Structure 1
Amino acid sequence: MAKVLVVASVYPSSTDIDLEQLVKRIEEKLPRDYEVTRYDKVPIAFGLNALKLYILIPEESEGGTSKLEELLRGVEGVEEIEVETVHRVSSY
């Protein structure tokens, strides 16, 4: 079964947010069939860093990335998210 790789930037609500803890909170909030495969810290400006998340979701996810976006916005410490790319992957 194919999966979809979503690359999303997650912007924290403050420079005081521990990004490692934010990733853990995001992973806990995601459904069982969603998987954070990788993440990078990306410097933005004035000490603020964003997270670039690489998340695998089921191909047949209803509504595309909207459920993922809603889940990410609901995590404490997340100010804004931006889906950058979406790719179908046949095996990972």
Structure 2
Amino acid sequence: MSEARVLVIIKVYPDDVSIDLGELAKRIENALPEGYQIVRKATEPIAFGLNALKLYILIPEETEGGTAKLEEILSKVEGVGEYEIEAVHRVAQY
């Protein structure tokens, strides 16, 4: 049986409307430590041409501080303006 993981659904708002969300997702993915994995990406229209990047990220269940480490990583990625944790779910498998 595989170990349980935590699925974090997070909405990332770019700091500028001209930012390529695909490129922003790559930057975020490259900043993630071992054991963290983006399993799904989507674009969500917000308003006036601004789109948000919706990410589904698996993190190890035993991550100390819950989503704090993920939030710290996101805040340091170039192009990330704001982010919002939408949901956190424990999953046995994904």
TM-score, normalised on structure 1? 0.98
Unaligned runs of 5+ in 1: none
Which residue pairs with 2:21 in the alignment?
A: 19
Identity %: 63
Q: 2: CA distance between counterparts of 1:30 and 1:65?
A: 12
Partner residue, 1:4 = 6
- Number of aligned residue pairs: 92
Match runs of 1:5-84 below 5 Å: 5-84=7-86
3-state DSSP of counterpart to 1:50: strand
Alignment RMSD, CA only?
Answer: 0.5
- Aligned partner of 2:17: which letter? T
Aligned partners of 1:21 and 1:91: how far apart in 2? 28
C-alpha distance in 2, partners of 1:91/1:37?
12
Ranges of 4+ aligned residues in structure 1 off by more than 4 Å? none
Residue 91 of structure 1 deviates from its aligned partner by 1.1
| Residue ranges of structure 2 left out of the alignment (5+ in a row) | none
